[in-house]
Structure 1
Amino acid sequence: MYDLTGFQRDLLYTAAGLEDPHGLALKEELEEYYEKEIHHGRLYPNLDTLVDKGLVEKGKADRRTNVYSVTRRGTRELEARRDWEDQYVEDLFAE
């Protein structure tokens, strides 16, 4: 995961958090988080990068809509990232 951009990492987290996410749903979620428009020219090439790296699989919902699912490798990468983050910030969120 160390070789992903911040946007790609956010995209991977978002894909993991949605049920059968498609491009428009991912775009809307990220636009809400970033509080600005995410252009298709940014979204889809980054999704393709995640597919090429084996972190996400791309499937077809219908003729016009692709769905994206996080692979087992993608899930392992997310878990490793959370473990790495927790060693630095876990105490900040302890109650």
Structure 2
Amino acid sequence: MDDLTGFQRDLLYVIAGADQPSGQEVKEGVEQYYSGEINHGRLYPNLDTLVNNDLVEKGQLDRRTNYYAIADKGLEEIEERREWESQYVNV
């Protein structure tokens, strides 16, 4: 996960916390954290990066709507990140 941007990592977390969200649902989820609207030109290339890195799986709900699902590798990366963070942040 060390090669992901913070935005990509946040997208990964949103996808992991949802049940096969559409791109629009991922956008809405991440916008709850970020101030301001996330445009499609930023969202979809970053989602494609997660798919290309085998962290997220992409499927089709219908002709116009794709869904995203966390892949096993994505879950492993999140767990490794949490273990690393816990060395430095105890809440």
Deviation at 1:31, TM superposition (A): 1.1
Q: Deviations over 1:21-75 (max 9, x none)?
A: 1100010111111021000000000000000000001000111110001110010
Distance (whole Å) between structure 1 residues aligned to residue 14 and residue 36 of structure 2: 16
Any unmatched runs of 5+ in structure 2? none
Q: In the alignment, which residue of structure 2 is the partner of 1:79? A: 79
Q: Percent identity?
A: 62
Higher relative helix content: 1
Q: TM-score, normalised by structure 1?
A: 0.93
SS at match of 1:3: coil
Q: In the alignment, which residue of structure 2 is the partner of 1:10? A: 10
Any unmatched runs of 5+ in structure 1? none
Distance (whole Å) between structure 1 residues aligned to residue 51 and residue 38 of structure 2: 19
SS at match of 2:33: helix
Deviant stretches of 4+, over 2 Å: none
Q: In the alignment, which residue of structure 2 is the partner of 1:44? A: 44
Distance (whole Å) between structure 1 residues aligned to residue 22 and residue 83 of structure 2: 28
Counting matched residue pairs gives 91
Distance (whole Å) between structure 1 residues aligned to residue 30 and residue 74 of structure 2: 19
Q: In the alignment, which residue of structure 2 is the partner of 1:28? A: 28
Deviation at 1:10, TM superposition (A): 0.3
Give me the CA root mean square deviation. Answer: 0.6
SS at match of 2:68: strand
